[in-house]
Amino acid sequence: MQTTTVDPVPSPPQETIIIATAPPPEPRKPAVTTNNRGYFTRINKQNYASYTVFFLFIYGGMDMAASLGWSQPYSVLLFTEYSYCWFVGVIIGALATTLTMSFLPKLVYYVFGALMQLTGSIIFTAADYSACLAARYLAGLGIGLITVPFLIHNAEVASNNLRGVNGGMEQCGLALGIFFQVIFTTEWTSLIDSNPNEIHGIIGIVVSLFGLAMTALVVESPIFFLRRNMENRAQQSQEKLLRHNPGGVSAALKEARRYVAESDNRTLGEELVASVMPFLKMLLFRCFVAFSFSLPLTMSIISSTAVAEKGLSLWPIYLFGVLRVIGVMVALIFLDTLGRKAVSLVGLLVMAGLMLGLAGLYANVTNLISFNLMTSACNIALAFQVFAGLFVCSSSAYMGEAFPMRVKSFLVGVIVIIEQIVHIVVIACVSSVPNKDFFFQYFLAVGIIMLVGMIFFTVSMPETKKMTLRKAGHRFQKWYDVQMY
């Protein structure tokens, strides 16, 4: 018997399957956005109007200072035509804009105002008295043509976050012009053999040319076109203003339409009624702006410096011009951060106190020759200009925000005209009083008025920083508003 042995069947070889896996993903890199737009495209064109008028208001400040005691060739301590002719020119210009602004674009007024100032500054370089009078009328006319349109235009085109700073360029330019006039009137003629009129006119020519050139960059307000149902032009205007921020065009144009529609839905009578309280507030506010730089203040700083320094030094007068500019610069920093109301109230409160302090020092006429008392008067006058600069800047933004749209140009023009009349009345009253017997009465009256005005503004003036123009107008129409921040 044969036996067969069978080996066991070998197991098939096992296969190893290798699965390829991807490496772990790299962390996601942040997206990088490249702005391919040019430099000039990214510039904020909402600021061009304020840049333009800044140069033009410099010459305006020089002329105003020349009217209020800072002029060597002609005595302005008397009520002469030279002392008030510039203010008359401003009144005429403001009246013209009030009557025509409803149908003319703002650029027309900027160009004609700059040309009037340029012509006046050229004529002023002449030494003839009659020529200088004509030049001052023309320059005042130019400032009148510029002031009312700018206050309205700035409120319509400036961003909500910068409306205060841009509006403050009016007072900044005026303060710088006052500084130039005070400095070269006091010192320049002792350094070089030159007629101060020539220096005044040359500076005017330079700044007027700068301002005239800048008018080419000004963009008209979309509100101007919306009021005329020119939608395409309004869209183009808004796109130019916000070329640095195209994403905000739609929202800005929508807000402008709401602002125009709100005014169109009210009758003229309703707008006038709504303007009563804003008009009272801003009329008083701008009158205080006129009191912040006046002929009595000029006479006080000159006479007190002469006694305090015994004629050996003029440094207080130089500082007098500088300190107002410093006050304005400080105010510009806080107008759109801390707010217009708080800044202006602090300035007005201190101004009222300093005015009453000056009244006390001038209570007795014999104090005018007291070294110690006149030193104090000199120091008070210097401090006053710092807080005057702090106060005045808010007025420019407030003027553009306060009134309903259809009556705004008329009411702003009326207030600007009354502001110039206040200057003329003060000059006339001061010039009719012999010697300096008016110091006590003037400083006491103005100090009390400012103190009462400060209390009134505390309970009635709104805080409008970072508000739309429409909402700011609503706040102004309230009879009381105690919010400070």
pLDDT tens, position by position, 10-44: 555 555 544 445 455 555 544 444 444 544 455 67
For the ranges 13-17, 448-452, 470-474, the lowest mean pLDDT is seen at 13-17
Best CA proximity match to 274, nearest among 412, 470, 473? 473
User: pLDDT band at residue 190, thresholds of 50, 70 and 90?
Assistant: low
Who wins on pLDDT, 430 or 10? 430
User: pLDDT band at residue 246, thresholds of 50, 70 and 90?
Assistant: confident
Q: What is the pLDDT of residues 201-235, one digit of tens each?
A: 899 999 999 999 999 999 999 999 999 999 999 99
Write out the two tokens for 443: 């400083």
User: What are the residue ranges spanned by the domains of the chain?
Assistant: 43-220+266-476
For residue 177, what pLDDT is reported? 95
For residue 23, what pLDDT is reported? 52
Res 60 pLDDT > 70: yes
For residue 376, what pLDDT is reported? 93
For residue 194, what pLDDT is reported? 59
User: pLDDT band at residue 409, thresholds of 50, 70 and 90?
Assistant: very high
Write out the two tokens for 125: 């370089």
Write out the two tokens for 239: 């796109």
Helices (H), 125-230: 129-157, 163-167, 169-183, 189-191, 196-214, 222-226
Res 377 pLDDT > 80: yes
Q: What is the pLDDT of residues 249-261, one digit of tens each?
A: 889 899 999 999 9
Task: Please give the class, per CATH, of domain 43-220+266-476.
Answer: mainly alpha
Who wins on pLDDT, 127 or 112? 112
For residue 24, what pLDDT is reported? 54
Q: Give the C-alpha separation, 236 to 254, whole Å.
A: 14
For residue 40, what pLDDT is reported? 47
**314, 416 Cβ separation under 8 angstroms:** no
Q: What percent of the chain has pLDDT over 70?
A: 86
Residue range 70-99: mean pLDDT, rounded: 81
For the ranges 175-189, 343-357, 376-390, the lowest mean pLDDT is seen at 175-189
Res 4 pLDDT > 90: no
User: pLDDT band at residue 386, thresholds of 50, 70 and 90?
Assistant: very high
pTM given for the model: 0.88
For the ranges 51-60, 247-256, 343-352, the lowest mean pLDDT is seen at 247-256
Residue range 377-396: mean pLDDT, rounded: 94
Backbone angle region of 104, left / alpha / beta, with phi > 0 → left and psi within -120 to 50 → alpha: beta
Q: Which of 126-130, 302-306, 357-361 has the highest mean pLDDT?
A: 357-361
**207, 56 Cβ separation under 8 angstroms:** yes
Long-range contacts of 8-14 (CB under 8 A, 24+ apart): none
CA 457 to chain centre: 19
For residue 130, what pLDDT is reported? 87
Res 114 pLDDT > 90: yes
For residue 35, what pLDDT is reported? 45
User: pLDDT band at residue 365, thresholds of 50, 70 and 90?
Assistant: confident
For residue 273, what pLDDT is reported? 93
Residue range 82-92: mean pLDDT, rounded: 93
Considering the chain, what is the average pLDDT of its residues? 86
For residue 212, what pLDDT is reported? 94
Q: Where are the beta strands (DSSP E) in 198-325?
A: none
For residue 245, what pLDDT is reported? 81
**117, 142 Cβ separation under 8 angstroms:** yes
322 contacts: CB under 8 Å, gap ≥ 6: 179
Residue range 264-283: mean pLDDT, rounded: 93
Best CA proximity match to 122, nearest among 205, 53, 51? 205
Who wins on pLDDT, 328 or 26? 328
For the ranges 180-194, 405-419, 464-478, the lowest mean pLDDT is seen at 180-194
The helix/strand/coil state of 413 is: helix
Residue range 255-278: mean pLDDT, rounded: 92
Backbone angle region of 375, left / alpha / beta, with phi > 0 → left and psi within -120 to 50 → alpha: alpha
Q: Give the C-alpha separation, 211 to 216, whole Å.
A: 9
HSE value, Cβ hemisphere, 13 Å, CA-based, for 264:
11
For residue 47, what pLDDT is reported? 86
Q: Give the C-alpha separation, 201 to 126, whole Å.
A: 9
For residue 207, what pLDDT is reported? 94
For residue 73, what pLDDT is reported? 54
